[in-house]
Structure formats: C-alpha cells, structure tokens
A and B are shown apart, each in its own frame.
Chain A
Amino acid sequence: MEDLSFQHKVGARAGGLRQTAIIGVVASGNLEVLVERVLPDAECRIEVKTAAVGFGNVWTAVIADFVEHYSPGGLKFSINDGGARPDTVSLRLAQAVRLIEEDGQ
C-alpha cells in the first residue's frame, strides 16, 4: 500500500449543499471516493491510499487535471484505491463532485 496526499489552491467553492458523498467500490481496478465539505472555500485536499505502489506521478497529473477542470473548492477527497486505471480515477472524482453538488442533506 502507498499513501499519497495532494493539496491545491482553488478559485471557486464547489456548488451544492450536501456535506458528504461517496461513490465507487474498492475492488480490482476500481476505487471509492469519499468527499466531504470540510475545508475553507479556496482549498482542496485529496488523500489517496492505493494498492498499486509507484504511480505517484500519474496521480499527480490526474489530480491536477481534475482540480483545474472542476474547481472543487472546500472539498476533501479520501480515496481507497484497488489499482484503478487513470480514466477510472478521473471518472470517480467527477462523479463524487457531481454527487456532493446535488441538493439535499
């Protein structure tokens, strides 16, 4: 297992009112993303626990791309990864933002 942590400055606060959301399952080639609205509006943090060791550079690139695209201000992402491919990671992160931006709770 390898632990990775990323911190980004973000331009805008993520929309919606939900405080938490979760998407995905920890399985081979899959991952779960827990997202919580717990940070100041201009910050975003992503913590990863991955079964695939040695892919720090790929994570750095995928997450930088995600933060730039979605501007997830105020959100903390916690990821348990079962060795998902970068496109699956991008998809789950996008789904997590979309879920927490829904109304309710």
Chain B
Amino acid sequence: MTAPIKQTAPASVERSRTISFNEASARTRIERLLDAGSFVEFIGPESREVSPHLKIFDLPEQFDDGIVVGRGRLDTSPVFIAAQEGRFMGGAFGEVHGAKLIGLLRAARELKSIPVLILFDTGGVRLQEANAGELAIAEIMRAVMEARTAGVKVIGLIGGRSGCYGGGGLIAGCCSALAVSEPGRIAVSGPEVIETNRGVEEFDSRDRALVWRTMGGKHRRLLGAADVFTDDTVHGFRDAALELLGLVGTFGLDLLKAEQVRLADRLRSFGACEDGVDIWTAEGIAHAETIPELPAEQFIAVADKIGRTSHDAR
C-alpha cells in the first residue's frame, strides 16, 4: 500500500489565504473569493456607464462607477456578486452605482434560486448626487426585501476600508446575514457625523478605540448585528459566505417577528450601557476589556461561547 498523494492547493488558493480583504481592491476581492476564473462581469468598465453627475462638479469618473457586479461560482454553486470599491469616492452610492446593484438584486428576484453576495465598502450616499443616491438606497432596500421574499439569500460581507456607513448600513440591516472582520465597521451615522451633531462629549470621533468599540467588527458580532466574524483574509470571507449560505433560513413574517423580539430584547438588556465593554460584560464575557486586543482566532472562540444571537431571526 502506498500512501495517497497529498493534494496540494493551487497557488491561487494559497494566495487567497493570505491576501488581506481590507487592502484588496473590489476586483481582487471578487476574483479571489469566487472559484478561479468563474466571474463574469455585468456592465463592465468597457461599457463606460459612468456617473452623469460628476462631470458637472469637474470631478474624475471611474468606468465602473465604483461597483463591480456580475455572476460566478462559489464552491461550484452559482452566485450573483457585487463589490464596492471603497477607494473611489469612499465607495459612495451614486445613481449608476446604485442602479447596478438594484439590477443585480432584481435579476436574483426573478431567478429565485441564486443567492447574492454584497461586498460592502461605503461611506453612504455620494453627496454630489445626493438625491439620486438616496433614491438608490431606498430602491436597493426594497430590492433586497423583494429578493428575500422570493426566496433569495442576500449575504453582506463587510471588511473594507470605508466600512459600511450611511445608507450602506441600512442596506446591510436588510440582508439575510452578515459576515464582518475586525477592520469592518457597521453603522449609519459615522463618528464625525455624531460628533458634529451631538458634540464631543457624546462621541469623540478621534478616539479610534471608542470608534471600534462602538462600530467595529468585534462589537457588531458580539451584539448579534453580524452573524459571523472572520479573520481579515479574502479566503476567510469566502468560508464565511459559504457558512452563512448554509445557515440562512426561510424568510417570512415569522422571521420578521422573531427579529423584532430580538431587537426589543437587545434594547431592554443593553439600553442603559454606556460603552461597548459594558455590553460585553453584560453578555457574560469575563475580562471584556481585553476583547479589542484578542487575535481573531481567540475572539471567535469567545464569540462562539455566547452563541449566535441572530441565528433564528433577521
């Protein structure tokens, strides 16, 4: 008997294991997240569907308007995928940017069986086309809910440099499930916005540790806003997406009612907490103050102990 030859992973898979999701471009994230060579882009850069508004402001355009959409395969199963480019205008939603995501979600709604992955990386609405951007956010939220009602799983992956803010945070809240990494941040109002409106006593936007304790990936996982926490690698997000696709249940009124109960419970339990650390302590985590320093693996072990809070809801 000879031992079976150990199959070595192809070089591309090896590279995905180490590529930082946070540092990769939208195109690299898609290329490394999906099965090699399976991605087909819709309305690619060569069709030059650029923003009709930026020219008026004498600002540079990007050929894909900051979002890459298309179809591909994830572990051989078909998926639709959208990835925002957080470095182009902060990944903000403009008219064309939004329309591409709406179209993708509506295609998924029509086909019913193909899930959608949204790789958020956004500060929210693009201010230069604010009305069109706000409308896009509303239409995307509707498109997400219509797709889910038709039986489509919509998974959000959050680990980009621009986080997931403004309307992006609202859309993320509509998804079937979310995966987040430590550098990923999820909120509606960003730190500077809160400080501007409510004063520095309410929120000091320069206190980076406070920002991460309030909006960062670890906190969002412990609070149940994100379902899975992953290390900051493209491969980690691939595994997280596969895990979530296996977990997400049937969407319907019962699920929405369960989500409402979960959120009401959360507010009752943690509404008086002043800081993220207070919430983690109230959740029963010993030495909660060490959470921010924990490496991903140790953090996942701690988070798994307090359970998957949104497993049966959302």
Contact = CB atoms under 8 A, between A and B. Distances in A.
B310 to A, nearest CB: 33
A50 to B, nearest CB: 8
Contact of B88 (A1, A27, A34): A27
A81 interface: yes
Contacts of A22: 27, 44-45, 63-64
Interface in A78-100: 78, 80-82
Contacts of A17: none
Contact of A34 (B37, B55, B63, B87): B63
A4 interface: no
Interface residues of A, number: 18
B58 interface: yes
Contact of A1 (B27, B44, B58, B64): B58
Nearest to A104: B37
Contact of B87 (A20, A25, A50, A81): A25
A34 B46 CA distance: 7
A78 B58 contact: no
Nearest to B64: A22
A18 to B, nearest CB: 12
Contact of A25 (B44, B48, B62): B62
Contact of B62 (A26, A36, A104): A26
A25 B60 contact: no
Given A20-B46, A25-B87, A104-B37, A49 B60 contact: yes
A32 interface: yes
Given A20-B46, A104-B37, A49 B87 contact: no
B59 A32 contact: no
Given A22-B45, A26-B88, A49 B27 contact: no
Interface in B270-307: none
B195 interface: no
Contacts of A1: 55, 58-60
A46 interface: no
Interface in A8-62: 20, 22, 25-27, 30, 32, 34, 36, 49-51
A81 B60 contact: yes
Contacts of B37: 104
Given A22-B63, A49-B60, A27 B87 contact: yes
A80 B63 contact: yes
A4 B62 CA distance: 17
Contacts of B60: 1, 26, 49-51, 80-82
B46 A80 contact: no
A26 B88 CA distance: 6
A80 B27 contact: no
* Residue picked from B27, B58, B88, most chain A C-beta under 10 Å: B88
A30 B85 CA distance: 13
B57 to A, nearest CB: 10
Q: 8 closest pairs, A vs B, by CB?
A: A26-B62, A27-B87, A25-B87, A51-B60, A22-B45, A20-B46, A26-B60, A34-B45
Interface of A: 1, 20, 22, 25-27, 30, 32, 34, 36, 49-51, 78, 80-82, 104
Interface of B: 25, 27, 37, 44-46, 48, 55, 58-64, 85, 87-88
22 contacts: A1-B59, A20-B45, A20-B46, A22-B63, A22-B64, A25-B25, A25-B87, A25-B88, A26-B60, A26-B62, A26-B88, A27-B87, A27-B88, A32-B45, A32-B62, A36-B46, A50-B60, A78-B63, A80-B62, A80-B63, A81-B60, A104-B37
